[in-house]
Each structure stands twice: as structure tokens, then as C-alpha cells.
């Protein structure tokens, strides 16, 4: 007997979940989109919702057929249940919690872009903080319009959210000496890293500066930086779990700065784990910019806007150093990502080959000056350049050119 083809299995899963949801008396209409694992849900109160089943499909593949669809339908039914409240900030304050999400999480598909934006705040590069209301069977994201209804500000709500998160079960000693883990299984494991002072509080409890990884939403491991092997292991674990999870968060290793704020771990180039740690930061940047580029390209095509969105590219040098670079083409209105190097195309002023030359990003900022600044409204950050540098500026840029193998991280 042949195995059900994956595409047929996916369709059967989606159709079964749709049928189970239709059985809910409060759900007016549920349709599975052709060739997509997406449900369009029309509810009696007039709300039209879009439910993306891909993550549910992947996360439930350990369950037997039948039980799998029922489990997913129950989760969705809880999420679709209308909020009975809280209608006031006083009602909500005890239930609000912070969650960490990649910036791409907040880039809604075109058919959902009319939804009110979620209340968010930057956390660390490529990751933002969002707010949720916690309930026994679900969490619901807090939109900016909800803050307006509560007559409060995201900063004030975050203070309450962090206070609530600080009362969640803390990290405990793990199986390995010197490692602490969050093993609460409450779906807020990674949120602990956002609690002010939590990571810094491990100074003196671990060897060296505290370091942490949150490769998925349900992970938070903490250790010390003093042991290079432990740092290497953390970087490899973060990379492995991030790459394998459909709820991936970050392959980076984090630490704290002098003020106790969470920041990406940056090691000197002679540190044994330097390249592994840097690779995690590079992968996070590459994925964040790729998600943003796909979203912007779709939006620009839909709106008829002729604006080139440059890719962030990554290269692993022969010496093992991960390097990022982007391309500044000729006569193109362009959105450039932040990179280690910019390859500036066109014939250099010295008459050399016209294939372009590399300039460190920070040198481009210094040389071009006011004509090279972040464009407003982009997360992750992009720089908009409307035209190629003037000849005199090109001369200065060419004088600052380097080979990729000569680039040294600052």
C-alpha cells in the first residue's frame, strides 16, 4: 500500500481541520484555500479572519491521524473564541506578558495588511518585543488600537508586562555544570531574556559574563563566557535548534553590556569561538533581511513602485570569518541593507575594471555623509540611495576600497 503523497496529506489535514471548525456553532464559514494550507474564516459577528495552518501542520506531525486534526482544531477554536474582555486596562494589567519575535513576524501578508498593527518595541538587532494577553488556553497579541482603548502607552504596558514575566518560574540549573535553563513549558521560555536585569543577575553565578541563547520560542539557556568550549557549544546549539524549528527565534548568542542591557555577544577575532558566534549573528541578519525583501518586493509590485530592494549576501571566507555584503548599483533608486561591505558598481575613477569595488559600510557612511542615512520606517534598517555617488565622492570611495579578505570586523 503506497504512502499518501505529502501534498494530499496536507490537503486532507487542512480539510479535516476546516470541517471540525465548521462544527463550532459560533463559526459562520470556514474555507480551505486552493493549493494553500490557509483557512478563511467568517464569523457570525462579521469578523473575517485568516488562519495559517503551516506551523500547526508541522508541530502536530508526531500525533496519529485523527487525534492530530482534533488537537489543532481545539487550539484554533480557543484562539477564535471572542474575547469576553478585558475591556479596561485595570482588567488587563495582571495578564499582559512580553514575547520576543523576529521582525519578520510583524510583516503581514498582503491579504491581512488591513489588520491593526501590533504594539511592538525594538529589543535587540532583528528581534522585537510584542505584548500578549495570557489565558489558560491561548495568548492574544495586543494591537496598538487596544492601547488607545486602554488610554495607556506601550512603555507603561511593558513595565507591567515585565513585572508579570519576572514572576514566572526562573531559570534553574541544567544537566551540565554552570548551565541554567528555563524548563517551565509555559510558552514564554524565551521571554525571560527580556526581563530587565535577569541575564545580568547571573553575574557571579556563572563563570565570566553571562551569555544566553533563545534559538526557539521555548528555549532559554544561560551560562558563562569564561569557558571558550561552552561558548562554542552554545553557538552550535543555537544554530542547530534555530535551523530545525518552525518556531525559530534566533541563532545568536547574547550577553549584557556595562549597564546590564541584553546585547549580541561580540568576541575578539582571536577567540576560539569568534567565528561560530559571528555566524549566528550573520544568519539572523540574512534571514531578517530576506523576509523583509520578499515583503517589500511584493508590496512594491502591487503598488507599482519602481524601487530596488537590495539583498543582504553572506560569504564564508577561507579563514572561516562570515562576512556580509550588499550591492549598490548604478542609476537605481535603491534600499540598501546594513552590511559589513558595500560593493559599489561602476567604473572606478582610476580607470580600473568596471566590476565594482568593496568599501566597508562604516566608511561609506563617513564619506557620503548626509546623503547616506537610514530611511524612516524600515525594520530592519535600510538606507535609501536615489542615485550613484557623484564623481568626487566616487574618488573618495575608491580610495577607501579594500578586498573582502582584508576586511576586519570593528
Confidence (pLDDT) at 185: 86
* C-alpha triplet 353, 335, 283: angle, nearest 5°: 90
* Residues 15-34 as b or e (16 or more Cβ within 10 Å = b): ebbbebbeebeebeebebee
Given a cut of 90, whether residue 246 has pLDDT beyond it is no
Residue 1 has pLDDT above 50, yes or no: no
Give yes or no for residue 84 having a pLDDT over 60.
no
Confidence of residue 24 (pLDDT cuts 50, 70, 90): low
Could you report the per-residue pLDDT of 275-332, keeping only the tens digit for each? Answer: 999 999 999 999 999 999 999 999 999 889 999 999 999 999 999 999 999 999 988 8
Average pLDDT over residues 8-34: 80
**pLDDT tier at 3 (50, 70, 90 boundaries)?**
very low
Q: Is the pLDDT of residue 333 over 50?
A: yes
Instruction: Tell me, letter by letter, the H, E, C secondary structure of 225-282.
Output: CCCHHHHHHHHHHHHHHHHHCCCECCCCEEEECCCCCEEECCCCCCCCCHHHHHHHHH
pLDDT at 43 over 80: no
pLDDT value at residue 347: 66
List, for residues 138-183, the tens digit of each pLDDT value: 788 899 999 999 999 999 999 999 999 999 999 999 887 889 999 9
pTM for this one? Answer: 0.83
Q: What is the pLDDT averaged over residues 200-218?
A: 96
Mean pLDDT value across the chain:
88
Residue 2 is predicted with a pLDDT of: 40
pLDDT at 78 over 70: no
Answer yes or no: is pLDDT of 74 > 60. Answer: yes
Q: Given a cut of 80, is residue 31 above it in pLDDT?
A: yes
Amino acid at each position: 500500500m503506497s504512502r499518501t503523497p505529502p501534498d494530499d496529506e496536507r490537503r486532507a489535514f487542512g480539510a479535516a481541520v476546516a470541517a471540525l471548525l465548521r462544527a463550532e456553532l459560533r463559526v459562520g464559514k470556514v474555507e480551505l484555500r486552493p493549493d494553500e494550507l490557509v483557512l478563511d474564516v467568517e464569523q457570525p459577528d462579521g469578523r473575517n479572519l485568516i488562519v495559517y495552518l503551516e506551523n500547526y501542520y508541522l508541530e502536530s506531525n508526531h500525533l496519529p491521524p485523527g487525534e492530530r486534526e482534533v488537537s489543532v482544531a481545539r487550539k484554533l477554536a480557543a484562539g477564535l473564541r471572542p474575547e469576553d474582555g478585558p475591556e479596561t486596562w485595570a482588567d488587563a494589567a495582571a495578564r499582559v506578558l512580553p514575547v520576543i519575535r523576529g521582525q519578520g513576524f510583524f510583516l503581514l501578508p498582503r491579504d491581512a495588511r488591513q489588520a491593526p498593527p501590533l504594539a511592538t518595541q525594538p529589543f535587540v538587532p532583528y528581534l522585537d518585543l510584542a505584548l500578549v494577553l495570557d489565558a489558560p488556553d491561548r495568548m492574544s497579541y495586543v494591537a496598538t488600537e487596544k492601547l488607545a482603548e486602554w488610554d495607556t502607552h506601550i512603555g507603561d504596558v511593558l513595565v507591567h508586562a515585565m513585572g508579570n514575566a519576572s514572576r514566572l518560574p526562573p531559570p534553574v540549573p541544567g544537566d551540565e555544570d554552570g548551565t541554567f535553563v528555563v524548563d517551565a513549558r509555559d510558552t514564554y521560555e524565551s521571554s525571560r531574556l527580556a526581563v530587565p536585569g535577569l541575564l545580568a543577575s547571573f553575574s557571579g553565578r556563572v563563570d565570566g559574563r553571562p551569555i544566553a541563547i533563545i534559538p526557539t520560542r521555548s528555549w532559554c539557556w544561560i551560562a558563562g563566557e569564561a569557558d571558550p568550549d561552552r561558548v562554542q557549544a552554545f553557538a552550535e546549539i543555537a544554530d542547530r535548534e534555530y535551523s530545525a524549528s518552525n518556531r525559530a527565534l534566533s541563532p545568536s548568542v547574547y550577553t549584557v553590556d556595562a549597564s546590564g542591557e541584553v546585547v549580541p555577544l561580540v568576541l575578539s577575532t582571536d577567540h576560539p569561538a569568534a567565528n561560530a558566534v559571528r555566524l549566528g549573528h550573520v544568519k539572523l541578519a540574512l534571514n531578517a533581511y530576506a523576509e523583509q525583501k520578499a515583503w517589500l518586493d511584493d508590496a512594491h509590485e502591487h503598488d507599482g513602485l519602481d524601487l530596488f530592494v537590495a539583498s543582504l549576501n553572506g560569504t564564508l571566507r577561507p579563514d572561516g570569518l562570515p562576512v556580509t555584503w550588499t550591492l549598490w548599483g548604478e542609476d537605481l533608486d535603491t534600499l540598501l541593507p546594513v552590511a559589513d561591505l558595500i560593493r559599489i558598481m561602476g567604473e572606478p575613477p582610476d580607470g580600473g575594471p568596471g566590476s565594482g569595488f568593496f568599501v566597508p559600510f562604516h566608511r561609506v557612511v563617513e564619506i557620503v555623509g548626509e546623503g547616506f542615512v537610514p530611511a524612516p520606517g524600515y525594520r530592519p534598517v535600510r538606507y535609501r540611495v536615489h542615485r550613484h555617488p557623484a564623481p568626487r565622492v566616487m574618488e573618495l570611495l575608491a580610495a577607501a576600497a579594500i578586498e573582502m579578505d582584508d576586511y576586519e570586523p570593528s
